[in-house]
């Protein structure tokens, strides 16, 4: 349902690989199907860990149209760990504030990151084709491989490996791998090959999504309208992107003719009603979407693992699709690495499915509530929504009931079996299973950031550990754990006190972080052997 008009598109050449002429079927540790945002992030994560990866992409170009534009803070932090965070922020449009309107009146404003002391902004708007280009460049710089115009047409697996057949311009060839990761999107061919289906809802409504190039004086904010005069009876959304491209989403209704609505002359008529006759603009991309909130019940099927839209789908309101997919990759990479290295059991991968299905269900809940509020399904629900909007204009309590899309936040994996429960009380929002929060640090006399000190490994961080002479590393059954101390005169020095407050740090307090920067355990003093036990638990080595 997409119409690319003037969308930038970079073509990548097909190159015949040595595997195609080999006398025996080549075997790779990991194959990734799909060279989009999630597949590329997954590949970079694994290659940076020393895992040989081949990405198989059936097309020879990047995404058409802006698609997933709102890159959330946690996604930016993950990309920062992978070496591409700064360029995403530099290229994109930063924002943290939004406005919600009813008709043409402002209901309220919101700030998604009112506190300081974070390296990454609340959100950056950057078109998916730019994101993917930077990811491709980073992957190739690390020595990774993308095979363009390599379409996986069949998947067969045993307990030992996965075999795929691949179509190319030079004909078909075969590859074996230990693990196959399906990141091939909402219409996943791998999912179809395995006969898997989604659970969830398809919403009976349609939305016109358009990229418009123009010089606009709107601020770098998210603007959402309920029933504006320029689009009577429906909703509208406006975002600024890089290169003077603006994303405009317009609700159409279930009975709308998608092909008619996508015609440029009809799109221009709707955009002119919104912007006025004096604003000059060009249409870059047009698409009509039917929103879905669905997920697989299990993301691990033998040696085939699903991530991103191949595993789950949500409506765009709230920016939960692409961001959730990047967090899938963040959760899976370190677990697969430990399994490949033989230092963690294969069952550790089951926790990827459990944790990310939990996150998907949370995203689906929020997306479903947002879509139900935006598009009421009955006269009663519409009356309730309109009354809520009316109250929100006068009473702050009602503003929390207005739902134009709860914006993406990372899942708190508080039910994770990999976490060690607290032995003491901590007075902060962070807890075992939570993603780490950033804060300023002084590192070797220079300004730095806490998350940058949590490398791609298990890390124990002790705050002013009472003169203990802690080693820089501890080995736990082949798993290397970095040990870092924070305090005056020690390895790291705290910056402005934000770290102490965000983690409720007192002298001796110690946090254990997983390689994906989620908290695995914490203690009020240095834990000694309990640290090793928590590492084993976090690596899936304790029941």
- Is residue 262 in a domain? no
* Interatomic CA distance for residues 432 and 454, integer angstroms: 16
Residue 320 is predicted with a pLDDT of: 81
Most confidently predicted of 31-40, 105-114, 205-214, 318-327: 31-40
Residues 394 and 453 in one domain: no
pLDDT attached to residue 376: 85
Token pair for 290: 């039917």
Residue at a domain's end among 341, 366, 391? 366
In the prediction, which pLDDT does 6 show? 61
Residues 6+ apart with CB under 8 A from 21: none
What percent of the chain is modeled with pLDDT above 90?
78
What pLDDT, on a 0 to 100 scale, did the predictor assign at position 269?
Answer: 96
Domain of residue 64, CATH code: 3.50.50.60
8 Å CB contact between 479 and 539: yes
Query: 43 pLDDT exceeds 90?
Result: yes
- The answer to whether 163 touches 14, Cβ cutoff 8 Å, is no
pLDDT for res 96: 94
Is residue 207 in some structural domain?
no
Alpha-carbon distances of 539 from 113, 131, 440, 442, 479, rounded to whole Å: 33, 31, 29, 31, 9
Same domain, 386 and 519: no
**Predicted local distance difference test score (pLDDT) of residue 409:** 85
Name residue, tokens 């606009």: 216
**Do 527 and 459 share a structural domain?**
yes
Q: What is the pLDDT of residues 73-98, one digit of tens each?
A: 999 999 999 999 999 999 999 999 99
Question: Do residue 155 and residue 178 come from a single domain?
Answer: yes
Q: Is 1 within a domain?
A: no
Rounded distance, CA 302 to CA 319, Å? 30
Could you report the per-residue pLDDT of 376-388, keeping only the tens digit for each?
A: 888 898 999 999 9
**pLDDT value for 4:** 61
Final residue belonging to a domain, choices 366, 384, 407: 366
- Lookup: tokens for 58: 């059936």
Claim to verify: residue 330 and residue 307 sit in the same structural domain: yes
Q: Considering the domain boundaries, does residue 386 fall inside one?
A: yes
In a domain, 339, yes or no: yes
Q: Which residues contact 86 (CB under 8 A, 6 or more apart)?
A: 80
- Quote the domain boundaries for residue 394: 373-399
Residue 406 falls within a domain, yes or no?
no
Examine residue 139 and state whether it is found in any structural domain, yes or no: yes
Instruction: Give the pLDDT of residue 199.
Output: 86
380 and 512 housed in the same domain: no
Residue 3's pLDDT is 67
Mean pLDDT of the chain: 93
Judgement on whether residues 50 and 172 belong to the same structural domain of the protein = yes
In terms of domains, do 85 and 173 share one?
yes
CB 502 within 8 A of CB 431: no
Mean pLDDT of the region 507-522: 97
The 3-class secondary structure across 134-178, one letter per residue, is: HHHHHHHHCCCEEEECCEEEEEEECCCCEEEEEEECCEEEEEEEE
- The total number of structural domains in the chain stands at 3
Closest CA to 166 of 147, 150, 182: 150
pLDDT at 1 over 70: no
Last residue in a domain, options 366, 384, 419: 366
Segment 134-143, tens digit of pLDDT: 999 999 999 9
Query: Where is average pLDDT lowest: 5-19, 38-52, 398-412, 491-505?
Result: 5-19
Per-residue pLDDT at 542: 77
b/e per residue, 347-371, with b = 16+ CB within 10 A? ebbbbbbbbbbbbbbebbebbbbbb
Q: Is residue 407 part of a domain?
A: no
Query: Is residue 305 domain-shared with residue 182, that is, in the same domain?
Result: yes
Measured CA distances, 505 to 271, 306, 522, 525 (Å) = 52, 38, 10, 10
Which residues, in sequence order, are bridge partners of residue 481? 458, 474
Q: Both 301 and 342 in a single domain?
A: yes
Reading the block at residue 242, the tokens are 């890089």
Same domain membership, residue 377 and residue 361: no
CATH number at residue 504: 3.40.30.120
Pair 37, 133 in one domain:
yes
- Top-confidence residue, 56 or 206: 56
Mean pLDDT, residues 387-416 taken together: 89
Task: Tell me if residue 502 falls in helix, strand or coil.
Answer: helix
Q: Which of 3-17, 156-170, 217-231, 347-361 has the lowest mean pLDDT?
A: 3-17
């Amino acid at each position: 349902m997409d119409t690319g008009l003037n969308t930038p598109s970079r073509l990548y050449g097909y190159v015949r690989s040595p595997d195609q002429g080999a006398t025996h079927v080549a075997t790779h540790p990991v194959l990734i199907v799909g060279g989009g945002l999630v597949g590329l992030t997954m590949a970079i994560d694994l290659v940076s860990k020393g895992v040989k990866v081949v990405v198989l992409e059936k097309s020879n170009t990047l995404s058409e149209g802006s698609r997933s534009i709102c890159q959330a803070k946690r996604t930016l932090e993950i990309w920062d760990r992978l070496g591409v965070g700064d360029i995403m922020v530099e290229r994109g449009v930063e924002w943290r504030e939004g406005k919600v309107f009813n008709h043409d009146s402002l209901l309220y404003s919101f700030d998604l990151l009112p506190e300081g002391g974070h390296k990454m902004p609340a959100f950056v708007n950057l078109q998916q084709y730019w994101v993917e280009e930077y990811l491709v460049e980073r992957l190739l710089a690390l020595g990774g491989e993308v095979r363009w115009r390599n379409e996986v047409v069949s998947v067969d697996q045993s307990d030992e490996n996965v075999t795929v057949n691949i179509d190319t311009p030079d004909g078909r060839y075969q590859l074996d791998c230990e693990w196959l990761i399906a990141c091939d999107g909402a219409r996943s061919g791998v999912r179809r090959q395995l006969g898997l289906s989604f659970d969830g809802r398809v919403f009976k409504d349609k939305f016109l999504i358009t990229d418009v190039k123009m010089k606009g004086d709107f601020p770098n904010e998210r603007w959402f309208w309920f029933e504006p005069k320029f689009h009577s009876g429906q909703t509208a959304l406006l975002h600024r992107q890089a290169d003077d491209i603006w994303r405009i989403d317009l609700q159409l209704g279930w009975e709308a003719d998608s092909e008619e609505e996508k015609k440029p002359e009809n799109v221009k008529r709707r955009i002119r009603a919104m912007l006025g006759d004096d604003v000059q603009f060009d249409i870059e991309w047009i698409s009509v979407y039917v929103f879905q909130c669905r997920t697989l019940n299990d993301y691990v099927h033998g040696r085939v693992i699903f991530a991103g839209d191949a595993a789950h789908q949500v409506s765009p309101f709230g920016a939960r699709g692409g961001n959730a997919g990047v967090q899938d990759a963040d959760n899976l990479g370190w677990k697969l690495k430990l399994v490949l290295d033989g230092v963690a059991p294969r069952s550790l991968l089951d926790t990827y499915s459990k944790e990310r299905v939990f996150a998907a269900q949370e995203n689906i809940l929020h997306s479903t509530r947002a879509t139900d509020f935006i598009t009421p399904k009955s006269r009663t629900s519409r009356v309730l929504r309109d009354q809520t909007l009316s109250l929100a204009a006068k009473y702050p309590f009602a503003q929390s009931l207005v739902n134009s899309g709860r914006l993406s936040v990372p899942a708190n994996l508080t039910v994770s079996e990999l976490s060690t429960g607290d032995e003491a009380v901590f007075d902060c929002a962070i807890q075992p299973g939570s993603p780490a929060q950033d804060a300023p640090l002084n590192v070797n006399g220079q300004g730095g950031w806490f998350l940058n000190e949590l490398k791609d490994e298990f890390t124990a961080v002790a705050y002013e550990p009472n003169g203990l002479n802690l080693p820089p590393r501890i080995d736990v059954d082949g798993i290397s754990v970095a040990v870092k101390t924070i305090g005056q005169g020690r390895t790291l020095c705290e910056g402005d006190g934000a770290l102490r407050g965000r983690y409720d740090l007192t002298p001796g307090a110690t946090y254990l972080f997983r390689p994906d920067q989620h908290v695995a355990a914490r203690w009020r003093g240095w834990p000694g052997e309990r640290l090793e036990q928590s590492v084993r638990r976090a690596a899936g080595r304790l029941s």
